[in-house]
Each structure stands twice: as C-alpha cells, then as structure tokens.
C-alpha cells in the first residue's frame, strides 16, 4: 500500500470522525422522547412529523450532545387554526442551572401571522424573550431555521437571515453558555394558557390533530464524548473552512440586514420592556457593541 494512499485514508477517517454530525437521519441521530404514537418518520428517516391531539403531544431529542455548533432545521408548521399550539426547536442542557437556546413557533387563528418566540437561558436564568412576526407563510412550505452557537455569540437565523444575536459578555459579568453540553430537541405541545394572544385564544380541538414537519437536519457541530470527557472538534480547527462557524461573527452588511428585519418584524423585546423591569433593564440590554 502506498504512503499516499495511507495518508488519504487517514485524512478521510479523521474527516468522518469530525464531520459525523454534519447531516443525518432522524432514525439514526434522534430518540423519540414522548408521544411515540404521534411521531412519523418518512423517506428513510429524512422527514419527521410531530402531531398533537387532546391525548398527547410529541417530541424528540438528539442522541449526541454538543458544545458549540451551527444547527440547521427545515420546518413546516401547523396550517389553519393553530391557536394554542407551540412547535419548539431548541438546544438545552439539563439541571437547575441549565443553558438553553429556544425557538418556539406560537400558533395562531387562521389568517393571523405566526410569531417566532426566542429565548436564551444561561446558568438557569432566562427571561430574555424576543418575538418576531414571520414575513411569510410558514405553513405553505419548509423554511430553514438556524442556531449559531460559538464562543463569541449566539445567533438566530431564518432562511439564512439573522434576526437576533446574544454576545458573550462574560467580561461584563453576564453569564454565557460555554461550558455545558446541550442536546437538540423538537416538540409540539398544547400551550393554550399563554401561546396565542397571551392565552386569550384557546386551542380548537376540533381541528386536531395538529402536525408540524421537520427535514434536512444538519449539525455542523462539536460532538461531546462523555467517555473521553472532551469534544471531537477543537477550537484550533477554526482556521479551516469546515470550522468557520466556530469563530464566525456578523459583518457590517449582515448586521444592517438584521437591523432592517428587526425594525420591520419584531413583536416583543425584553430589552425595551421597562415596565417588566422597574429596577432597571438586564445588564446585557444596556451594553452597546
């Protein structure tokens, strides 16, 4: 066997180990966590649907745990009158001081826009809600919703357009999600007590079952190994194209695009809610960067 062939084999093996979580199958990469009878997998595990009726909702979680990553998921939401129904897609660790990065799609009455509810928990502390009206019908086609989580920032994207950034401000005394591994979760559940118009509009169970669909999951991420006590992706790899996300920032053009989206479509921002924080806004809201 030639030295060149051996070298190539080693490179390919290393690439497969590092990129094993890049794109995957719901059958191979996820476990059903609840509501088994309300979960359907199609196209050899490339498409997954979650349903909700009065008996149960449903959900899944990734088998892998991640410490930083760029996660993409294409989702098609519940059509028609979905008031009270929440479809969720999020990263979370476990425990009382958990970290969490949330995307929750709040159902609506027919003809009203869906609201994308985002939140970030660090060391068990949340209350960082921002909500956005989606500028398209998310029930007609699949759209891509992404989470970028690296040592510098957490960013939310819709079809490649950033809508929110939470920066690492540990130097200012603000906790950041950088030392707890997280799994990826998806679920559909009844939240009629708060999801639609603050709970004023309840779930119409005559329209059940409510179904959301997920496909084209991709995790360009650092996979944590509990046996080795480390991640399979190291920060020093950030200089290579495969790991650009690990040091990714938003350039000035991207920030301008995000600013425009936020001006047009933001529905709620905790950093603007002085009534909620009479003693003063959270510290991260007062820091400009």
Q: Give the CATH number, domain containing residue 242.
A: 2.60.120.200
Q: Which domain holds residue 274?
A: 19-286
Query: At 240, is the pLDDT very low, low, confident or very high (cuts 50, 70, 90)?
Result: low
Separation of alpha carbons 45 and 58, rounded Å: 17
- Mean predicted confidence (pLDDT) in 103-114: 90
The reply to whether 124 falls in a domain is yes
- Mean predicted confidence (pLDDT) in 236-247: 66
Give percent of the chain above pLDDT 70: 88
pLDDT single digits (tens) 73-97: 999 999 999 999 999 999 999 999 9
The reply to whether 241 falls in a domain is yes
The reply to whether 122 falls in a domain is yes
Query: At 234, is the pLDDT very low, low, confident or very high (cuts 50, 70, 90)?
Result: low
Query: At 229, is the pLDDT very low, low, confident or very high (cuts 50, 70, 90)?
Result: confident
Q: Of 104, 129, 170, 249, which is the active-site residue?
A: 104
pLDDT single digits (tens) 193-221: 988 888 888 999 999 999 999 999 999 99
What is residue 19's predicted lDDT score, i.e. its pLDDT?
39
**Which stretch of 87-101, 235-249, 268-282 has the lowest confidence by average pLDDT?**
235-249
Q: Are strands 161-167 and 183-190 parallel, antiparallel or unpaired?
A: unpaired
Total number of domains in the chain: 1
- C-alpha distances in angstroms, 275 versus 129, 165, 263, 270, 280? 14, 23, 21, 10, 9
Four-residue CA torsion sign, 271, 272, 275, 281: positive
The reply to whether 12 falls in a domain is no
**Which stretch of 2-6, 139-143, 173-177 has the lowest confidence by average pLDDT?**
2-6
What is residue 232's predicted lDDT score, i.e. its pLDDT?
74
**Mean per-residue pLDDT of the chain:** 88
The reply to whether 11 falls in a domain is no
Active site residue 100: yes
Active site residue 129: no
**Which stretch of 23-37, 116-130, 169-183 has the lowest confidence by average pLDDT?**
23-37
193: number of Cβ within 10 Å: 11
The reply to whether 274 falls in a domain is yes
Q: Of 100, 129, 236, 249, which is the active-site residue?
A: 100
Global pTM value: 0.88
What is residue 244's predicted lDDT score, i.e. its pLDDT?
84
Backbone region of residue 240 per phi and psi (left: phi > 0; alpha: psi in -120 to 50; beta: other values): beta
- Are 185 and 88 contacting, i.e. CB atoms less than 8 angstroms apart? yes
Strand partners, 49: 40, 213
What is residue 132's predicted lDDT score, i.e. its pLDDT?
98
The reply to whether 113 falls in a domain is yes
The reply to whether 6 falls in a domain is no
pLDDT single digits (tens) 141-150: 999 999 999 9
Separation of alpha carbons 258 and 77, rounded Å: 23
Give percent of the chain above pLDDT 90: 78
- Mean predicted confidence (pLDDT) in 14-29: 59
């Amino acid at each position: 066997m030639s030295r060149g062939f051996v070298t190539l084999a080693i490179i390919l093996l290393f690439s497969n180990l590092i990129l094993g979580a890049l794109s995957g199958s719901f059958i191979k990469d996820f476990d059903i966590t609840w509501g088994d009878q309300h979960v359907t997998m199609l196209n050899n595990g490339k498409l997954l649907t979650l349903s909700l009726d009065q008996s149960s909702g449903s959900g899944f979680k990734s088998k892998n745990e991640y410490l930083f990553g760029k996660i993409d998921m294409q989702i098609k939401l519940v059509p028609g009158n979905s008031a009270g129904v929440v479809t969720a897609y999020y990263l979370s660790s476990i425990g009382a001081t958990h970290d969490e990065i949330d995307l929750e799609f709040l159902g609506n009455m027919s003809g009203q826009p869906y609201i994308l509810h985002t939140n970030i928990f660090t060391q068990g502390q949340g209350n960082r809600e921002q909500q956005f009206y989606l500028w398209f019908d998310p029930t007609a086609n699949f759209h891509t919703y992404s989470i970028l989580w690296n040592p510098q920032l957490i960013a939310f994207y819709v079809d490649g357009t950033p809508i929110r950034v939470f920066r690492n401000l540990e130097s200012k005394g603000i906790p950041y999600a950088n030392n707890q591994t997280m799994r990826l979760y998806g679920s559909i559940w009844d939240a009629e007590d708060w999801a639609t118009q603050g709970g004023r509009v309840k779930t119409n169970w005559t329209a059940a079952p409510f179904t959301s669909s997920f496909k084209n999951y991709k995790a360009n991420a650092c996979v944590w190994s509990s046996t080795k006590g480390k991640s399979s992706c190291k920060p020093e790899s950030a200089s290579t194209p495969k790991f650009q996300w690990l040091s990714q920032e938003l350039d000035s053009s991207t920030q301008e695009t995000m600013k425009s989206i936020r001006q047009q479509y933001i529905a709620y921002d905790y950093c603007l809610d002085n009534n909620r924080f009479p003693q003063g806004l959270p510290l991260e809201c007062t820091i400009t960067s």
